[in-house]
Amino acid sequence: MPPKRVTSKDVVEVLTKIIEENSPNGDLDRMHAKMDELQTGQEKLSTDLHKLEKRLYNPDDGVVVQLNDNTRVTRETRDYVKKRTDDIDGLHHEVKSLKN
């Protein structure tokens, strides 16, 4: 059986127990408040990361999809320009030969 996953709540509980055993009671309320702030911040960070991942990897319009489309268009444009440049160079050479 895989080991139990440790969550931030588990860590806070263990830290609270250690602090309660080793600290004077006057500081416990402040420490509880700070730990609550940390947990709230961690939850917000998790939400923000989820939004970022969704924006990056969204299969319809995510950043990765847009980058791949941009690369494809760039490649197609480069190939088209190269082909047309060769045609123009050929025409230019033909015009030169007609002048002579």
pLDDT in tens, 5-63: 778 888 888 888 887 777 666 567 777 888 899 999 999 999 999 999 998 888 888 88
E strand or H helix that includes residue 31: helix 28-57
- From residue 53, alpha-carbon distances to 47, 58, 63, 64 in Å are 10, 8, 10, 11
pTM of the model: 0.46
Of 50, 71, 69, give the one whose Cα is nearest residue 61. 69
Residue pLDDT, tens place only, 58-83: 888 888 899 999 999 999 999 888 88
